[in-house]
Chains A and B, each alone.
Chain A
Amino acid sequence: CTYGGRTQRKKDQQTDDEGQSLKHKSREAVIKAFEHNLLNMFGLKEKPKPSRRIQVPQYMLDLYNEQANSPVSSMNFNVRGKSTRTANTVRSFHHHDHDDEKNPSAANSNGHSHKLTFNVSTMAEDEVLTAAELRLFCKTQHSISKRDVTDTRDTENTTQHSIQKLKHRVNVYQILKPVSNSKDIIKRLIDTKIVDVRNATWESFDVRPAILDWRRSPRANHGIEVEVLDSRGRPSGHRNFRIARSVTEQGDLEDETRWFEERPLIVTYTDDGRQKRAAGRSTS
């Protein structure tokens, strides 16, 4: 500026612009590095860009709220009946229901059993699976309940019979080898439970053996089969169990939101090794 002149001012202006641009670039680089560091801390490679409207299963929200409201010292996923003591990560997976959408009444189903496939390949390889559950929603059917409640007022035999009618056995199989003919399918039973359909509840089935297999060999993931039998072991319709998306009287698929709330869910509990161990070395 001391020499004066337009050229120098122009040069100065140019230098200023370049400086600003460099500053801007370096600021961007800093922000990028900052974000990269944070994502790395969260165990993510890049910022997730959800492709759909964020919908979170109620069970996951309940687990989160339980965690958020619990005292700091007892922060772990203590799920009753599950060995989740060391787990610090919970993932939820919905099954692929594209087949259901094409033909909801018949897809993968033969009336009393239903095939469900889940993509669990997104689980990090270095995480240790401590537990995995398949959660199925069992809804009550008032028409059945009312009739059976009336029945229970009759003789003792009728009561016993009615109670038996309200109990269903649910078998969960891992499909080892799918065959076009559903009778020849090779499967193994991984969990079974007797469910009383008088109560609307979420039933949990242990599917850890299947998930362990699928993680070892993703090509072996042929899904699981849910079979509903009556108390005598005969095939029974699974009207009470929300396994497949239902169809309205007009032939349309049921409401997306309702189906989302009640559809099957696999929940996995893993340990990424970052959890602080309770019995660590003590400081002097």
Chain B
Amino acid sequence: SRERNNRKRRLKPNCRRHPLYVDFTSVGWNSWIVAPAGYQAYYCQGECPFPLVDHLNATNHAIVQTLVNSASPQLAPKACCVPTDLSPISMLYLDESDAVILKNYQDMVVEGCGCR
């Protein structure tokens, strides 16, 4: 039984960060975005299985929701794998009037994922 559970877990990997490269050139935005040419945004995907382990960075609420789900799945779904820590990036671009702008955009890159 434990072996079967392990295999199941192996099929559905736990919540973690995956690479997602956003290429401004491929969407034709390089005509006005000077830098960067693209950036690694990342995304979060994976299971939040019961019991939630420490590295899944779960909140107390997520632990309770997972407990309820494991007892009766119809009452509440599993906790979701979402970005828990995000960082900004700087972008250098030209606006409608050809003015050069350097701007910091918040929450553009996933730094960490967790079950929430």
Contacts and interface: CB of A to CB of B under 8 A. Distances in A.
A52 B98 contact: yes
Contacts, number: 92
B54 interface: no
B87 interface: yes
Interface in A57-78: 57, 60-61, 63-64, 67-68, 72, 75-77
Contact of A49 (B32, B99, B101): B32
Contact of A61 (B92, B95, B103, B111): B92
Interface in B66-116: 87-88, 90-106, 111
Contacts of A51: 98
Contacts of A76: 104
A36 B21 CA distance: 20
A48 B102 contact: no
**Top 8 nearest A-B pairs by Cβ distance?**
A67-B90, A48-B32, A90-B102, A88-B104, A72-B87, A122-B97, A64-B92, A89-B103
Contacts of B102: 60, 63-64, 67, 77, 89-91
Interface string B10-34: 0000000000000000000101101
A54 interface: yes
A75 B88 contact: yes
A42 B32 contact: no
Interface residues of A, number: 37
A64 B106 CA distance: 15
A46 B96 contact: yes
A133 B53 CA distance: 52
Contacts of A81: none
A280 interface: no
A44 B93 CA distance: 11
Chain B interface size, as a band, is 20 to 34
Chain B at the A interface: SS class: strand
B48 to A, nearest CB: 19
Q: Is the interface of A mostly helix, strand, loop or mixed?
A: loop
Interface string A117-143: 001001000000000000000000000
Interface of B: 29, 31-32, 34-36, 87-88, 90-106, 111
Nearest to B34: A56
A274 B93 CA distance: 18
A77 B92 CA distance: 13
Given A89-B103, A275-B106, A68 B96 contact: no
Contact of B35 (A50, A64, A72, A75): A64
Contacts of A276: 88, 106
A274 B103 CA distance: 11
A274 B88 CA distance: 11
A60 B34 CA distance: 11
A56 B92 contact: yes
A68 B35 contact: yes
A60 B90 contact: no
A10 interface: no
Nearest to A72: B87
Contacts of B91: 42
Contacts of B95: 44, 48, 122
